[in-house]
């Protein structure tokens, strides 16, 4: 067992264990999950019979049995950056990091998780690097894991969670996309955020205030603030270049 005195983040903590792993596979599993009977055998069997798969996620359900979204076929901002994502293996972009199995040697060879991602975005980054290394990302429907969603951040204010997610997305863009794509993403995010802030404020002025509207307003105000901050930094850097 590895114990830390401080929270080092999801990726950094997993990397500590990765250095001591010698088996064929490594199974990343969140502490707020329950592995259902037979699932461990199924994930190993899947990886043994699918050598083209380097990383795979499982079916994830909520405690009430409903399906939890855990597969993505596109990366953040991908429609503005397709020219940066050539010749990737497979169709799945990434799977939820709460439950996924990978080939140990492959993950070690690409350096494990990028520790610059503290909590959000690390599985998207890892999955993209797996595909760039020539392997596919897979999905194991027969293996079922119960996930208590957002349990680790249940006491964190919404604005703080959203800020972490937005900053993680821009970290992903900066690592994997060129400046042309990033500028297009920034422009699109600013336009959408301004439009949604105006429309939400108008809606809240004209109609009874709903919590969903408040949450959406917090989301787009966060997106606008961080995107504008990044835009200003880029603009200043271009002026000084």
**Shared-domain flag, residues 226 and 122:** no
Whether residue 107 is found in the same domain as residue 35: yes
Q: How confident is the model at residue 52 (pLDDT cuts 50, 70, 90)?
A: very high
Strands (E), the chain: 25-29, 33-35, 53-61, 71-72, 94-95, 99-103, 136-147
Is 207 in the same domain as 102?
no
User: Within a domain: residue 105?
Assistant: yes
CA 58/CA 139 separation, integer angstroms: 6
- Number of structural domains found in the chain: 2
User: Domain for residue 78, yes or no?
Assistant: yes
CA-wise closest residue to 19 among 116, 126, 107: 107
Q: Quick one: 21 and 81 in the same domain?
A: yes
The predicted pLDDT at position 183 comes to 95
Q: Kindly report the pTM of this predicted structure.
A: 0.90
31 and 98 part of one domain: yes
- Give domain status of residue 108, yes or no: yes
Is residue 1's pLDDT more than 70? Answer: no
Helix (H) or strand (E) holding 37: none
- Give Cα separations from 147 to 60, 139, 174 (angstroms): 6, 16, 30
* Shared-domain flag, residues 99 and 35: yes
State the Cα angle at 67 between 64 and 68, rounded to 5°: 100
Task: Say if residue 16 is in the same domain as residue 79.
Answer: yes
Rounded to 5°, angle at Cα 108 from 100 and 94:
35
- In this prediction, residue 190 carries a pLDDT of 97
Each residue of 173-232: pLDDT tens digit?
Answer: 999 999 999 999 999 999 999 999 999 999 988 888 889 999 999 999 999 999 999 999
Q: Are 18 and 118 members of one domain?
A: yes
Domain end, chosen from 117, 152, 187, is at 152
Domain that holds residue 51: 10-152
């Amino acid at each position: 067992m590895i114990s830390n005195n401080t929270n080092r983040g999801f990726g950094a903590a997993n990397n500590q264990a990765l250095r001591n792993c010698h088996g064929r596979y490594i199974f990343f599993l969140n502490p707020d999950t329950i592995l259902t009977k037979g699932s461990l055998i199924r994930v190993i069997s899947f990886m043994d019979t699918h050598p083209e798969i380097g990383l795979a996620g499982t079916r994830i359900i909520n405690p009430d049995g409903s399906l939890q979204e855990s597969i993505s076929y596109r990366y953040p901002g991908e429609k503005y950056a397709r020219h940066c994502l050539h010749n990737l293996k497979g169709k799945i972009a990434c799977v939820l990091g709460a439950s996924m199995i990978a080939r140990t040697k492959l993950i070690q060879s690409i350096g494990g998780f990028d520790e610059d991602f503290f909590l959000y975005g690390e599985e998207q980054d890892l999955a993209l690097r797996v595909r760039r290394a020539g392997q596919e990302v897979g999905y194991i429907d027969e293996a079922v894991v119960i996930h208590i969603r957002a349990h680790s951040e249940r006491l964190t204010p919404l604005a703080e969670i959203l800020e972490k997610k937005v900053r993680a997305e821009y970290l992903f863009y900066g690592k994997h996309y060129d400046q042309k794509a990033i500028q297009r993403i920034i422009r699109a995010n600013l336009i959408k955020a301004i439009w949604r802030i105006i429309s939400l404020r108008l809606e809240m002025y004209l109609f009874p205030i709903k919590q969903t509207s408040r949450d959406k307003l917090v989301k787009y105000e966060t997106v606008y603030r961080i995107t504008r901050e990044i835009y200003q930094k880029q603009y200043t850097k271009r002026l000084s270049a």
